[in-house]
Chains A and B, each alone.
Chain A
Amino acid sequence: MNNVQDQIKNYIVTQFAYDQNALQPDDDLLNQGIVDSIGILQLVTYLEETFSIQIKDEEITPENFRSLSTLNNLVMQKGPVNRFESRR
């Protein structure tokens, strides 16, 4: 089943050309340069459009964007996910 975190992982792996098998939930996306300053902007738009949420400017922090699991937490804390269909 594709949950929120899997969808984010798929996006990052595709968009930033990273090895699917190497990317772990707690890997540091910023430190390792997987997502850079331009990538963060693309990620914000992806998260908003995919999960129908609004990310506020004060939420774009290194803490929230650090890893797949912190991104998952950011999305989950913004309300119910029952609108999200599983995607292949």
Chain B
Amino acid sequence: MNIPKRCDVVVIGGGPAGSTVGTLLSQSGYEVVLFDKTRHPRYTVGESLIPHFWKYCEAINVADKIAADGFIEKSGGTVIWNGVIRQMQFKDFGYPRPALHVERDRFDWILLEHARESGVRVFEEVAAVHVNLDHGEKVSVVCRPNGEKTSDEIACRFIVDASGQHAVIARQLGIRAIDDGFRFMSIWGYFNNSKYIAADGRAYPFEKRRQIPPTTFVTNVDDWGWLWHIPQRESTSVGLVLPQQQMKAIKGSDEALEAYFLRRCSEIPYLNRLLEDAEYCTESFHVIRDYSYRPTQLAGPGFFLTGDAAAFTDPIFSIGVVLAMYSAYLSAWAIDRSFKQLRRTADNQAIFARQFMTRLEASRALALPRYGYGGDEGEMVKNSIQFETSLEQELMYVVSTLTTRSDNFVEMCRNKEGGMITSSKYRKLEEIVF
């Protein structure tokens, strides 16, 4: 494996953020080396995408490949929260291309292959174990091929951390703040032949999913937990997100957790009916112990944090991949400018940090239960909202009314004149028709 001794930018991680920033910089003529500790295609979760991701795909010229691959299109969302049924459709908000349900191994692999074709030197099964920052003067990454005892070191001008929840740099520097009140566990599995809910409020058999697009179905579970139901090409992903506290009651083995998962699936209203004729795929069970965290610093001498390597909240509104690609785009912009005028690096990083942070804070305000929005954070969220198009503001408003997660967010949904943003672009239903 010929890992070069130096390059312009090292990207840690080959998920959507890493591929996006790597491709953008390579297309601008920079020498980019990317490390990923797995071998792609590799499984990961986070399977629902909102249509905002397309503009980043277009920016890196990969949109046609994604569109041609045959991912299931989703029309919008069905949210049943405390028994109230609401639906929204993305086409009401003017998005030219559809939202998707993706198999992430496939989606991420298309992006990574595209990065390679764009000139990024990709090294898989190589872990970034340590970064040297040295005030931005002598920046390097220490990396180690899996299973080997010796490391290599590669010098560069900038490092982009796109390592997802591994959060290599944030952990090394201790710049993550964990939301102690928000630890949760995600447990999920896959079902064949599950029915799904379409945008007309009716349940359809699995085989209709290409003719009549599904919605992503979300419903609340217990106090602030929730469930997802995401029909894909071959099967349907069903997951529960529950407070860590609650999960402690279940004896820790994965078999016990799987049994618990299946029991809950059979009890949760509407879900149990969707799964009536479905078969659970044995061996498809997954567990992640998660917690919400935010960065105390988004960029510093020699480095930028993107995507989950910067922050993770709760995937309830499917914005994780979009936020990752946005922050990757932003970091590529800042890095390009910094190469052209080195003395303006700190200024560019300040812009990166502020733009990313305001959008991060808005996503936290939407998803975190009982989010307190006093002071600076509240101002950031309001700013973030006012940067958006009026259609996008309506979407944010609609999303914030679908659950009780975003109670405080609704308060901040004000337009530039200070008036409330409202929208009627959703439907309330009496029932789902089976």
* B59 x A45 contact (CB < 8 A): no
Of the four ranges (under 10, 10 to 19, 20 to 34, 35 or more), the interface on chain B belongs to 20 to 34
CB-contacts of B65-93 with A (<8 A): none
* B55 x A45 contact (CB < 8 A): no
A81 within 8 Å of B by Cβ? Answer: no
A31 within 8 Å of B by Cβ? Answer: yes
CB distance from B84 to the nearest CB of A (A): 30
Which of B113-121, B128-136, B349-357 forms contacts with chain A?
B349-357
* B351 x A37 contact (CB < 8 A): no
B326 within 8 Å of A by Cβ? Answer: yes
Which B residues are closer than 8 A to A by beta carbons? 55, 59, 326, 329-330, 333, 337, 344, 347, 350-351, 353-355, 359, 383, 386-393, 415-416
CB distance from B375 to the nearest CB of A (A): 17
Chain A residues whose C-beta falls within 8 Å of the C-beta of B388 in the assembled complex: 30
Of the four ranges (under 10, 10 to 19, 20 to 34, 35 or more), the interface on chain A belongs to 20 to 34
* A66 x B416 contact (CB < 8 A): yes
* A58 x B354 contact (CB < 8 A): yes
Q: Which A residue's beta carbon lies closest to that of B390?
A: A31
Contact indicator per residue, chain A 41-82, by CB within 8 Å of chain B (1) or not (0): 100110000000010111011110110000000000000000
Contact indicator per residue, chain A 20-51, by CB within 8 Å of chain B (1) or not (0): 00000000001111001110110011000000
CB distance from A55 to the nearest CB of B (A): 8
Chain B residues whose C-beta falls within 8 Å of the C-beta of A38 in the assembled complex: 55, 59, 329
- A27-B259 Cα distance, complex, nearest whole Å: 58
Given contacts A45-B337, A57-B351, A57-B354, contact A62 B326 (CB under 8 A): no
Chain A residues whose C-beta falls within 8 Å of the C-beta of B347 in the assembled complex: 54, 56-57
* B389 x A36 contact (CB < 8 A): yes
* B55 x A36 contact (CB < 8 A): yes
Which A residues are closer than 8 A to B by beta carbons? 30-33, 36-38, 40-41, 44-45, 54, 56-58, 60-63, 65-66
* A37 x B390 contact (CB < 8 A): no
- A30-B388 Cα distance, complex, nearest whole Å: 6
- A65-B390 Cα distance, complex, nearest whole Å: 15
Chain B residues whose C-beta falls within 8 Å of the C-beta of A58 in the assembled complex: 354
User: What are the 9 closest A-B residue pairs judged by CB atoms, nearest first?
Assistant: A33-B389, A62-B386, A57-B350, A57-B351, A31-B390, A57-B354, A41-B333, A62-B387, A30-B387
Chain A residues whose C-beta falls within 8 Å of the C-beta of B416 in the assembled complex: 31, 62-63, 66
Chain B residues whose C-beta falls within 8 Å of the C-beta of A61 in the assembled complex: 383
CB distance from B345 to the nearest CB of A (A): 13
Chain B residues whose C-beta falls within 8 Å of the C-beta of A32 in the assembled complex: 389-390
Chain B residues whose C-beta falls within 8 Å of the C-beta of A37 in the assembled complex: 326, 355, 359, 387
- A54-B344 Cα distance, complex, nearest whole Å: 9
* B391 x A30 contact (CB < 8 A): no
What are 23 inter-chain pairs, A to B, with CB distance below 8 A? Answer: A30-B386, A30-B387, A31-B415, A33-B389, A33-B390, A33-B392, A36-B55, A37-B387, A38-B55, A41-B355, A44-B351, A45-B333, A45-B337, A54-B344, A56-B347, A57-B347, A57-B351, A57-B354, A60-B351, A61-B383, A62-B383, A65-B387, A66-B416
